[in-house]
Structure 1
């Protein structure tokens, strides 16, 4: 199974952001990918006061990526967007997955919200405007069980263990807008750890570069095998990279080093 991670620099121009995303999906399809993954907040990453209105899961955002999936004959994980939330003050941070016919096959609402205060570096309270999801989601993508997560979820290994064990996931997907100051030290380490400890492929698509107001994302989108080996990594620019997932190798790793089977807690 060939997969692609599409790295973008979404800013305050939603129409431009969506066109860049479509261009990267076309590149993924041209490279022979069956599945393409886009980053968190792929349609808009800019000032809150000019953000687009939140939408339902069958709104314009969904229609845009459903059309792309159908026209390109591609499984599309559409990163995430602001889905209409439980009250007027909060949205959900939501991922949608579309099959090659354009059908919506999965929706995941981000569970862990990024509430962080680092003196002199960053002050961000996602929970002020976003409501947490409360359901883990494993989707069948091209016949492969695939666990869904978003960005800050990456720091909570119990989520991925549930996806791998209870959900029988063989792929773990991580769309993200990982901040530069944490990304350069933690992004690859955490992604490889999630792959190794759950013996799954990890497919992680990140935002890259500067975003208003005063936010810089790390990028380095990557695809990692169940041994923790980085199979593909995007350079520090907008673009798409691909890798082939070998599920016979995954089965061999799980047989020869049966850490999932040997767990006692």
Structure 2
């Protein structure tokens, strides 16, 4: 989704999410659209429209709700990924700077990047692009990883939490799909290695096998604390992890998360069918906000160039980075192109759900259980 820097400075449009409009009218919200650069900038109204309790009937009302409630804010960064790592690093850094400026009465406190943003999404590429990443336990020495160094520096410079999407990580003979999280001091506070590898074979659709080169992570429950004034405890998963409800359920049960971030890169087969469905399902399962950030979909020109001169097979991402509230409503989304989705988060809604529909207290543990063995 692209807009010129001179257009759409204050235009009210209906949400671009077809499924929200068609299937979830209660969640339909108005979106104020602005732009600073060639990046599409999507500012959603806040979660003030909880369960459709407030109708936004005018431009002025929508602008107030999208920029002036003062709730903590999150930005989802959706940008193109190339075979040139140096370009990818610059693109990510530019998007972080753009997103950190914000468009509301307060700047975003947390940014989420896409899955595998510094490398082509190809099993053959992962070993070549893999970096030795710092560990949380060792204090996070960034010097061995240019991706970690960039993310850490940006988090410190702009004073934000960064859920750093994911990058291929080399650890001895193993390669992981890893998400690093940095706090506003630039300190590495969490690291999640993708637990469930993307190994699928859909006839007539897509065949992909991450396990050809990647190793599955061993730590399931990755969280970090943002403090009570922001988002509380936040959980992290990566892409295919979202298909496993046990992860979301255990993050709620064991860590009492109010929000889960899933950097992801669904494709043109699984994306249209399951991307939104799974996010809404996990939000309802966990009674927490669910946030996803995807790479932007490659343009036709980019795909042609990759097929002609590229070293690795092209992977076409679905895009549509999205934020979902604990009621299962979409509160922010975009289309397939480059975009920054900025959304306000009221974490009290997570506690409200857990109180009003107390499924965590109603489990039939005499009949079944979901237990963490880590």
TM-score range, shorter chain: over 0.9
Give the aligned CA root-mean-square deviation in angstroms: 1.6
Q: Aligned equivalents of 2:217 and 2:85: distance in 1?
A: 24
Residues 193-232 of structure 1: pairs in structure 2 closer than 5 A:
193-210=281-298, 212=306, 213-232=313-332
Distance (Å, rounded) in 2 between the aligned partners of 1:38 and 1:227 = 24
TM-score by length of 2: 0.67
Write the mapping of 1:42-121 to structure 2, written as runs, cut at 5 A. Answer: 42-45=117-120, 48=124, 51-57=128-134, 58=142, 59-87=145-173, 90-121=174-205
The residue aligned with 2:251 is 163
Q: Secondary structure at the match of 1:220?
A: coil
Q: Give unmatched runs, 5+ long, in structure 2.
A: 1-71, 135-141, 307-312, 370-374
* Partner SS for 2:328: coil
Is the 1:12–1:46 Cα contact (8 Å) retained in structure 2?
no
Distance 1:189 1:53, change over 3 A: closer
Partner of 1:9: 80
User: Which residue in 2 is equivalent to 1:183?
Assistant: 271
| Number of equivalences | 263
Whether the 8 Å CA contact 1:6–1:38 is kept in 2: the answer is: yes
Specify the SS of the correspondent of 1:173.
strand
Task: Tell me the equivalent position of 1:38.
Answer: 113
Q: What's the CA shift for 1:54?
A: 2.8
Normalising by the residue count of structure 1, what TM-score does the alignment of the two structures yield? 0.94
Q: Does 1:139 align with 2:224?
A: yes
4+ residue runs of structure 1 moved beyond 3 angstroms? none
Using the TM superposition, give the Cα deviation of residue 261 of structure 1 relative to its aligned residue in structure 2, in angstroms. 2.1
What secondary structure does 1:216 align onto?
A: coil
Higher mean C-alpha deviation, range 44-53 or range 97-106: 44-53
Question: Structure 2: how far apart are the matches of 1:189 and 1:123?
Answer: 21
1:152-190 CA-partner distances (Å, limit 9, x unpaired): 011111111111111111110100111111101100000
Deviations, residues 119-169 of structure 1 (Å, cap 9, x unaligned): 243221101111011112111134411111000011111111111111111
Residue of structure 1 equivalent to 2:138 = none
Partner of 2:291, secondary structure, is: strand
Unaligned 5+ segments in structure 1 are none
Match in the other structure for 1:247: 347
Q: Deviations over 1:216-235 (max 9, x none)?
A: 11010011110011110022
Partner of 1:150: 238
Structure with the bigger percentage of strand: 1
SS at match of 2:80: coil
If you compute each CA radius of gyration, which structure gives the higher value, 1 or 2? 2
Q: Deviations over 1:29-79 (max 9, x none)?
A: 111100000011111115535932432223221111000101111111110
